[in-house]
Structure 1
Amino acid sequence: MTAAATTLTSDVATGRDLVHAELDVVRAHLAGRDPGPADERLVGLRSRAGGPTPLDEIEACFDLSGFERRTLLLACGPELVGEVGRELVEHTGRPSVCFGTALAKLPGAHWDAVTHDAPLRHWGLLRPAEPDSVLASPLVPDERILHHLVGIDVLDEQLELLSRHVDAPVELAPTHETIVAEVVRRWATSGPVVLRGPQARTTRAIAAAACAAAGLAPRLLGAADLPAGAADLVVLLRRLARETVLGRVAWVLDLDDAPASFAAAAGRALRSGEAPIVLTVSSRPGGAPVEGLGLPVLQVPRLGAGERRAVLAAALERAGAGAPESELAAVAGAFDLSVPDVDVVAGEVAAGHGLWQACRRRPRADVGSLAQVREPEAGWDRLVLPGPQLAQLRALVASVRHRSTVLDGWGFGASARGRGAAALFAGDSGTGKTFAAEVVAHDLELDLVHVDLSQVVDKYLGETEKRLARLFDAAEDGGMVLLFDEADALFGKRSEVKDSHDRYANVEVGYLLQRLESFAGLAILTTNARSALDQAFTRRLSAIVSFPYPDRAARERMWSQALPASLPRGDVDLARLAEADLSGGAIAAAALQAAYLAADDGGSLTTEHLAQAVRWELGKSGRVAGRGAAPVRRPG
């Protein structure tokens, strides 16, 4: 056993001796004996202990009178010392104390100690077993109080089921430290406070840091787990406050799962409660309404690239890892990790993983079923486009890669409308718009989030905005590229309001306009109906890239790329194939179909297999093949 453990054990034993010695004084009063000898022994033990006992702490923190202190101790007596129950039977006829006995036997008795708002009952230190007979009912001490009196540090059982411990971050950025200090200040002056921010994990981490800064252990509660009734909630909040005193605990209350009625029911109880509570809520659409709570709300902003770089560098240093300054700057410009994720990334780098890839992995799960997250693999060499369009795409990549340098280092951030980039890829179906988005994301070494519009658009009011906010926030956290294919389904023109459906649709478009402008990442919209887009969107675009229908030379290059080097084939006439008027997407589909024909026809691709596949692709749009597109001849 270590010296610290030995000291702790000694302190607990001394505390128990003091509780038993004080109980002996109360037992003397119960039996009608002279309490002097027991008092002398208690004074001697106190002089050697040199500090307050657990009972002293309870008396001071819950403002007990001397009579209430003695009543509480006598009520706990049968649990602490077996003989006390026998003595109670001998002197009162029952094995437990009641208020009537305490008033009759203990010194300093006062009637108002019996009332429900006096400390003993108000704080649940003890309760009448039969509430309808307060004076005669046996008094039942709370189990948490018994444990505290004998020096056992165990959380209140009910609160342990409702909450869980959360770790406070080791270090925060100055912006977040300022919020922590403000929370602690408001606890001391006005009570609970609300933190609202775009990153739930960051907001909770700041709340936990505020608890730690006040010298309290943070525990997380979910609003959905709290009682719905105002009276029951008041009782629970008192229990929280009591545990703060006994266990040095403060409370983080997550409102993101709160029912719609929570604010109305909980506002008054929270304002009048005495527990140190910090409430956290998302700033995205659909976040729990907090205005009805009547509590101060502090905004938790996203950090700038400079603070993100400093926080990440400090975390790497704590983990015994490091990274070049250029890589740190690039990562800070691309990724806005939550506070807990920064430490996870630092640990992964210390374990030998690359910094960029470690950051890239963290937020992938946050998009859920709303989109498909892909690691794109296509490079520039596979993209067949005219020079002007390629130059636009490379400039788009440069605007993302060098955003921090231009906006922060060179001072353009002060006049720029936003930190992000939004591009429209317009052109006929199959001209390579989605493929180009993959190339851009691959070059930036970022994930491509292909938005599933069927999962995003919802008929219920506000649901579409909630889901879009979740996507935008996840992409902003993880530097992911958002891809909205067939964007006119979401970004269409606003219409004249004739009914509620039109009004809600216009609200969605308005939200998208605002969110697209404030988005700090890269969003790519594709459409084959550019005229269907609301003009307000086009004014907010960083680039509009028009994808032309491929000419014959481009089609020949596409055919060459569509046929893998490992494909067994004879002498295929690519120039002849390029005569067919197909888009890039149709060429890829025809090449795949021809490969299946070849596999079924002996294993070697021929021009005839390709010609048949071309005829089928043309037939999809009601066209027929030109010269040379002979039907495939099958053996037998």
Structure 2
Amino acid sequence: MTAPAGGRTRTAPVPGPADWLLARLAVVEERVRQAIALRTGEDPGPDLPETPFDPFRGLYVSDEMAPHLLDVPAGPLTPASAGAALAAAVRDREDAATAAGAAPPVRRLAGDFGLDDLALDVLLVALAPDVDTRFERCYGYLNDDVTCRHATVGLALTLCGVPPASATARRLFAAGAPLRAGGLLDVFDSGRPYPTRGLRVPDRVTAHLLGDDSLPAGLPVSFGPAAAPCPVEGPLAGVVRHVARLLAHPWPVHLRESHDRDGTATTVAEAALARQGLSALVLDLTALDRETDPGASVRAALLEARLRGCGLIAGPVGVPVGPPGGPPLRALLAPLADPPVPVVFTGSRPWDARWTPVPPVAAECPPLTGAERAAVWRHELRTHTQEPDEAAVTAGARHRAGPRRIRAMAAAACRQAAAQGVPVDAAAVRSATRPWSTGALDRLARRIRPAVGWPDLVLPERTHEQLRDLARRVRHRDLVLGEWRLRPGGGRGRGVSALFSGGSGTGKTLAAEVVAGDLGLDLYTVDLATVVDKYIGETEKHLEQIFAEAEAADAVLLFDEADAVFGRRTATQDAHDRYANTGTSYLLQRLESFDGLALLTTNMHANVDPAFLRRLDLVVPFPAPDEARRRALWDRCLGPAVPRADDVGAEALAALAGAFDLSGGAIRCSVVTAAYRAADEGRPVAMADLLAAVRQEYAKLGRYVDESRFPPERTS
């Protein structure tokens, strides 16, 4: 620090990463100059013309030069006093910076990868042409081959003062040595003699030493700490502490979660690494199927983690990885089997001992509880709004998602609300959660967006209360089954299932839509035509896809006419009966382990297997409506928007309800038919239209028509 004129002090600029690297390369430059001087002093030979530089040197060998090819000394370079002094000065400055807590990148790299002075010097010799193009021509001259403009094994050892014939020095270039095992140095041209094999430093290593730590393009990794910290209390916080203790040892950890798309395990791993003072680099193994060389991507991710000095999270493990016909998972995970950095594998599948020589340490990651989900939602919404709406937090917490998915949902809800100029409310949150219902669920089931509510149901009070009890079970299952520990054993999930039993048109599907709307969830009606397959085992595969996707999307499954799939098992007479019973037994087990809301409807209660009834949480009866409810249904189906003639009043609707014993579905069909008749003539709906529609409905249902109750049909 100096004091210039004016009385103010000026601080010397702090060397940057590139400055430290260029200082090291200055030492390499001195050695190259000495090697060139040595070569030019001995060449040409005594019998050759005194031509200091042959323009075709390295391209041919003349008859005059051939006898003198072996006259050039093959020994190592002896560093000149100027080069030795410069190297000592650079080391002194690096020692001072390291002691001050600002170690140069070159020193940090050597320490993190276990490089000794010789290995570091070899790395710098190989790296020099990537930083300064002058070294290209110099290396071509020293290699006696103008096409070989990169460092070779022999040239690197010669410049470092080591005999190329030294067996100890050659170990530097072995596959298991720190330089190559760490991904810092590549040796190519394996068909050439060992001293003339080329050396290459990956561009990422050079960029790191120059101070550029941007992620390589195309590498399926993300970097950064967890955006939503785990709750201080609760089961998940205990898992974070446990994983942090495991990461204190040099062993990889397998953190198993409930579902690959949950993201909870990744957040727990990030928090555990943070407790160790480390950032996290996340490698998405599912993205390797787009890579031509997935193994290179895994090695590049490990190199990135080592360069940054952070931990690596890889997952989900167990899903198909890489292109078809690519290397097996064991080969891909080989670099991570005994990692030099903390590694956490995530995934929902149990670890297969064939994946690595020694399985990692296992740990379980439970899904978020309702209170933990609410805390994450509140945290994420607070990053966008000053004080989040509790109704929005409650609506979001109903979705059984992990922290990473909650983060994306909250951001989508805030963007949508901002685009509409409204605050983030429960409706915006529910709308933002819908895009996560994808995959096989959309292919094998039909989505219904709930558009009705409790006032739209015309049911007996007992049925109405059972439906509300069903919604309460779903809303508070995490508290009752999780925190209060009332979940039974036997591999049972936290799902809720119910059977809606009643005649056709009594409101079973409408009730399912109301329950789903009250919970803020989408309703998926399973299309049995796409599920049931004539080939053995295919039906079970389709159903497994539906259940798995519904768990991931947190959707409500509706099996309409469930007796077609959940029917009674029969006595085994032939192979068809045996496989049909096997499918029913599979459904019994899968429904019991399902973690979502499954609704079954049937109008033939007696055909449902009794084993299903035992596993159901509720059996809700839907009786045919009595006269008072039929009167309410007529009025509700006509609604306030349909224009009514003067003869369609309260007394007329009461007369219709008393005269015709129709279900709610039949009443709605009658109203629609009457509305079309009135619309065709451009007038309000009249009583004659309703009666004609009822006559048509009776005929459709195959019921007896008492013509004395109907006006005569009009003829054209």
Give the TM-score, by structure 1 length: 0.82
Return closer, same or farther for 1:213/1:113 CA change in 2, 3 Å cut-off. Answer: same
- For 1:387 and 1:226, how far apart are their aligned partners in 2? 55
User: Deviations 1:100-136 (Å, cap 9, x if unpaired)?
Assistant: 2334453244232343333344444333442111322
Q: Partner residue of 2:268? A: 206
How far is the alpha carbon of 1:575 from its aligned partner? 4.5
- Correspondent of 1:302 among 367, 386, 409: 367
8 Å CA contact 1:432–1:547 kept in 2: the answer is yes
8 Å CA contact 2:273–2:279 kept in 1: the answer is yes
Decide which structure has the larger Cα Rg and report it. 2
8 Å CA contact 1:608–1:632 kept in 2: the answer is no
The 5 A counterparts of 1:108-507 are 108-109=162-163, 110-133=169-192, 134-156=194-216, 160-165=218-223, 168-173=226-231, 174=233, 175-187=235-247, 188-198=249-259, 199-214=261-276, 215-223=278-286, 225=288, 237-249=298-310, 250-255=312-317, 257-259=319-321, 262-263=328-329, 265-266=331-332, 270-274=336-340, 276-282=342-348, 290=352, 292-293=354-355, 294-315=359-380, 321-322=386-387, 334-343=398-407, 353-368=423-438, 369=442, 370-400=444-474, 413=486, 421-443=496-518, 447-455=522-530, 460=538, 462-475=541-554, 481-495=556-570, 506=581
1:541 matched to 2:595? The reply is no
- For 1:11 and 1:304, how far apart are their aligned partners in 2? 47
Give the TM-score, by structure 2 length: 0.74
Q: Partner residue of 1:37? A: 82
- For 2:207 and 2:289, how far apart are their aligned partners in 1? 25
Return closer, same or farther for 1:100/1:505 CA change in 2, 3 Å cut-off. Answer: farther
- For 2:672 and 2:450, how far apart are their aligned partners in 1? 20
8 Å CA contact 2:559–2:599 kept in 1: the answer is yes
Return closer, same or farther for 1:204/1:557 CA change in 2, 3 Å cut-off. Answer: same
Q: Percent identity?
A: 33
Amino acid at match of 1:378: V
- Correspondent of 2:667 among 587, 592, 598: 587
How far is the alpha carbon of 1:314 from its aligned partner? 4.7
8 Å CA contact 2:228–2:379 kept in 1: the answer is no
- For 1:243 and 1:334, how far apart are their aligned partners in 2? 38
1:633 matched to 2:694? The reply is no
How far is the alpha carbon of 1:427 from its aligned partner? 0.9
The 5 A counterparts of 1:88-99 are 88-94=139-145, 95-99=149-153
- SS of 1:430's partner is coil
1:555 matched to 2:650? The reply is no
- For 1:412 and 1:182, how far apart are their aligned partners in 2? 22
Q: Partner residue of 1:56? A: 107
Amino acid at match of 2:177: A
Return closer, same or farther for 1:631/1:186 CA change in 2, 3 Å cut-off. Answer: farther
- For 1:457 and 1:208, how far apart are their aligned partners in 2? 43
How far is the alpha carbon of 1:430 from its aligned partner? 0.9
- SS of 2:16's partner is helix
Amino acid at match of 2:26: A
Q: Partner residue of 1:618? A: 698
- The answer to which of 498-507 and 450-459 deviates more is 498-507
Return closer, same or farther for 1:244/1:107 CA change in 2, 3 Å cut-off. Answer: same
- SS of 1:423's partner is strand
- For 1:150 and 1:412, how far apart are their aligned partners in 2? 56
Amino acid at match of 2:402: S
Return closer, same or farther for 1:268/1:112 CA change in 2, 3 Å cut-off. Answer: closer
How far is the alpha carbon of 1:467 from its aligned partner? 1.8
Aligned residues: 616
- For 2:546 and 2:432, how far apart are their aligned partners in 1? 19
- For 2:371 and 2:289, how far apart are their aligned partners in 1? 40
8 Å CA contact 2:367–2:402 kept in 1: the answer is no
8 Å CA contact 1:12–1:151 kept in 2: the answer is yes
Return closer, same or farther for 1:467/1:384 CA change in 2, 3 Å cut-off. Answer: closer
Amino acid at match of 1:42: A
- SS of 1:431's partner is coil
8 Å CA contact 1:306–1:332 kept in 2: the answer is no
How far is the alpha carbon of 1:539 from its aligned partner? 1.6
How far is the alpha carbon of 1:34 from its aligned partner? 4.6
Gaps of 5+ in 1: 1-5
User: Deviations 1:234-292 (Å, cap 9, x if unpaired)?
Assistant: 66544433222223352433347425985455465542454544333246xxxx97454
How far is the alpha carbon of 1:618 from its aligned partner? 1.7
Q: Partner residue of 1:3? A: none
- The answer to which of 131-140 and 38-47 deviates more is 38-47
- SS of 2:219's partner is helix
How far is the alpha carbon of 1:53 from its aligned partner? 3.3
How far is the alpha carbon of 1:66 from its aligned partner? 3.4
User: Deviations 1:593-623 (Å, cap 9, x if unpaired)?
Assistant: 1110111134232233222222222222323
How far is the alpha carbon of 1:512 from its aligned partner? 4.2
- For 1:59 and 1:537, how far apart are their aligned partners in 2? 65
How far is the alpha carbon of 1:310 from its aligned partner? 4.0
- SS of 2:506's partner is coil
8 Å CA contact 1:465–1:511 kept in 2: the answer is no
How far is the alpha carbon of 1:625 from its aligned partner? 1.9
Q: Partner residue of 1:106? A: 160
How far is the alpha carbon of 1:194 from its aligned partner? 4.2
Amino acid at match of 1:470: E
Return closer, same or farther for 1:415/1:185 CA change in 2, 3 Å cut-off. Answer: closer
1:606 matched to 2:686? The reply is yes
- For 1:483 and 1:252, how far apart are their aligned partners in 2? 36
- Correspondent of 2:27 among 15, 22, 44: 22
How far is the alpha carbon of 1:568 from its aligned partner? 2.9
How far is the alpha carbon of 1:518 from its aligned partner? 5.1
Amino acid at match of 1:554: R
Return closer, same or farther for 1:402/1:266 CA change in 2, 3 Å cut-off. Answer: closer
Amino acid at match of 2:170: W
8 Å CA contact 1:16–1:151 kept in 2: the answer is no
- The answer to which of 582-591 and 391-400 deviates more is 391-400
Amino acid at match of 2:205: I
User: Deviations 1:529-578 (Å, cap 9, x if unpaired)?
Assistant: 11121212212333322222234443333222222333333314334533
User: Deviations 1:392-445 (Å, cap 9, x if unpaired)?
Assistant: 334444555666787789x68478987654322111111121223334445555
- For 2:389 and 2:216, how far apart are their aligned partners in 1? 48
- The answer to which of 393-402 and 145-154 deviates more is 393-402
- For 1:534 and 1:239, how far apart are their aligned partners in 2? 55
- SS of 1:363's partner is helix
- For 1:593 and 1:527, how far apart are their aligned partners in 2? 26
RMSD between aligned residues: 4.0
8 Å CA contact 1:345–1:355 kept in 2: the answer is no
